[in-house]
Structure 1
Amino acid sequence: MTRNIDEINNVVENLQKSDNFIVTSHVSPDGDNIGSSMAMFYFLTKLGKKVRYVLDDDYPQNLLFLLKENKEKSIDVNDSGHTVIALDSGSYERICIDKKILENASKIICIDHHITNGEYSEVKYIDTKASSTSEMVYNIISEYEKKYSVSIFDELISTYLYVGLVTDTGNFQYSNTESSSLTMAARLLGFGARKDEIIQQIFQNNSLSYYKILGEALNGLEVVDGHIAIISVTKAMMERNSISYDDIDAITPYTRDINGVELGIFIKEKSMREIKVSFRSKNYIDCSKLASEFGGGGHIRAAGCTFIDEELEVVKSKIIEKAKEYFKNGK
């Protein structure tokens, strides 16, 4: 049986009785962010609802093939009385639209799988065990089809949901992949999800600049105490290799995928004195707890945090010191 069925039904009922929606997600778009948002957008469109997709951030290079003309920014929106659907946003602050749009909403529906979610809405469907928010949208659509005896899934919606599923499970490599994820994948392929295009565009389409900065980053990789690996990328490195901040996240798993390493740490300099840190673990370190030590959050095996007005080397020292405590205390 699907988990959180009461929450799913509550969302379905609210989608049915409302007519005006704004769909959005978190800053720094990723595959699950975009996949769940676009699937929800086209789902509501098929229901004949008035719906707008609003996100005040740009897509990374490897996801530009998903960009459609219906993506808007907050500056274009003057609606009121709408329902906001916030997808994959672990906190109110990370929702990537003008906060006036949220304040003018008649209701906010939160659909998310982050363990650190603050449950900032009156209508919510939160499942921290779900592989992705896209899997949760898949559950909502499935329940809607069952309840109202309609057919919703098609090639377009299935393709977007497949994008979210494969990116958040690392193409079914990560520990959050469950039997339900594989069942979902099989059904989406049956509905025509464009698997080959997705795999080629997302996993087999890196730029030459990416490989150049990857080489430089790996050359500076550090391993601490045999089980903590760190890679740092500075703004100067990105400029030198002609690549943007949003297009280097694929470096992150290299920190974790080393024999004997449990915790991988990827540190990147977004701008002067603004540092982003990503954590990845294999078996027992809780990345969400480690990130929360610095005001961040995420999932048990993948999380992150941001430092403002800090130097990169200072951030690295703080992170390593705290990580060592986690190993010492068996966290």
Structure 2
Amino acid sequence: MDKIINCIDEGNYFIVTSHVNPDGDNIGSTLSMYYYLKSINKQVYYVLDDDIPLNLKFLLNDIDILNSEEFEKLNLKDFSIISLDCGDLGRICLDKDLIDRASKLICIDHHASNQSFGDLNYIIPEASSTCELVYNILKRINQIKNTQVMDSKIATALYAGVVTDTGKFTYSNTSPSTFDMAKDLLVLGAESNKVICEVYGNNPYNYYKLLGEALNTLNIIETKVATITLTQDMLSRNNVSFKDTDGITPYCRDIENVEVGILVKEKSPNEIKISLRSKNYVDVSQIAKKFNGGGHVRAAGLTVFGETIENATKMVVDETLKYI
């Protein structure tokens, strides 16, 4: 942490970014670091080559997000990248040329699969979220500089990340330190009710039409594995973006006797995204690794290319049954 803090103090220009397919921890950790860098008068740019899910856009109302091409037009020659919540160099949501040209690459992450790809790395797989790691860094800065650097905006961003990555404090990655952090963030002014309402209580009507159609595809295999399938036709018919479907994943896990839930999403005819969630004992990150994916013990993901949605589903289900 101290090496990262020193690097931040010594630098002037920073990109903050995260992984493809943004989620709450992705945005919360990146945004809180962005706000901190702004508060100490650093030139900081939030750069992400992806769209933000509808239920998380409220966090970014006052932020200009650039894509790599827009950042390149600024012609900055000396900048550092802070990669947050990204477990693999190849999943950083930036042009590779930008990553190669950075004077420093700082990696802050909690994925067990992370191989420490940064010049400086702060990686704690046991942490509930990357937001918890950013919180730790900011607490350390408080200690070093004897000042409170977290305001209500930072606290709200961090709270959104930890709430979403712990499933509202219900997942196994929730620990006593997670609750200590949440309490501290509430004291600092985190808008907890706004986070819950926006993230979980503001889905459009079409989302529920899609959910109903998706639940009709529910299939349980050998009592332990359940799948739900989302096709391009279903998304188009219900006018729901691919990015706004992650909330469907728990429906295939939260069934009596089911250990692993598998959400299969057709991004294009030759690109199938698969989300894995387990309940008690299966390490789904090991299953994802078989297909060059990754993630956490209870939540992981992978992409299958060049296969039909039926074949991709069968491949992952067969591997899951072997693992069980």
- TM interval, shorter chain, is over 0.9
Structure 1 residue 69: Cα displacement: 3.3
SS of residue paired to 1:277 = strand
Q: Deviations over 1:17-38 (max 9, x none)?
A: 2222111111111111110001
Whole-angstrom CA distance in 1 between matches of 2:217 and 2:81: 43
Q: Measure, in 2, the Cα distance between the counterparts of 1:105 and 1:127.
A: 24
1:80 CA drift (Å): 2.1
- Match status 1:120 vs 2:114: no
Instruction: Give the alignment of 1:23-102 within 5 angstroms.
Output: 23-67=16-60, 68-77=62-71, 78-102=75-99
C-alpha distance in 1, partners of 2:88/2:146? 34
Whole-Å separation in 1 of the counterparts to 2:173 and 2:131: 13
TM-score, length basis structure 1: 0.95
Q: 1:130 Cα deviation (Å)?
A: 0.5
C-alpha distance in 2 between matches for 1:206 and 1:40: 28
Partner of 2:166: 169
- In structure 1, C-alpha distance between the alignment counterparts of 2:77 and 2:93, rounded to whole Å: 18
- Partner Cα separation in structure 2 for residue 191 and residue 324 of structure 1: 46
1:231 to 228, 233, 238: 228
Q: 1:250 aligns with which of 235, 243, 247?
A: 247
1:322 and 1:284 map into 2 onto residues whose CA distance is 16
Tell me how far apart the structure 2 counterparts of residues 227 and 69 of structure 1 sit (CA, whole Å).
43
Q: Structure 1 residue 14: deviation in Å?
A: 1.5
Give the aligned partner of residue 136 of structure 2.
139
- The Cα shift of 1:101 comes to 1.2
Residue 259 (structure 1) aligned with residue 256 (structure 2):
yes
Distance in 2 (CA, whole Å) between partners of 1:110 and 1:292 is: 21
- Matched AA of 1:25: S
SS across alignment from 2:136: helix
List per-residue Cα deviations over 1:243-281 (Å, max 9, x = no partner). Answer: 111111100001110011111100000112110000000
Give the match's secondary structure for 1:252.
helix
- Structure 2 length as normaliser, TM-score? 0.97
1:110 correspondence with 2:143: no
- Distance (Å, rounded) in 2 between the aligned partners of 1:151 and 1:254: 41
**Aligned counterparts, 1:235-314, within 5 A:** 235-314=232-311
What do residues 85-140 of structure 1 show as CA deviations (whole Å, max 9, x unaligned)? 00011111110011111111101000000111121112000000000000100000
Gaps of 5+ in 1: 1-7
1:9 to partner: Cα distance: 1.8
Aligned twin of 1:207: 204
Q: 3-state DSSP class of the match of 1:269? A: strand
Percentage of matched positions with identical amino acids: 47
- Displacement after TM superposition at 1:322 (Å): 0.8
Q: Describe the SS at the equivalent of 2:83.
A: strand
Q: Distance in 2 between matches of 1:233 and 1:123?
A: 39
Q: Distance in 2 between matches of 1:79 and 1:231?
A: 46
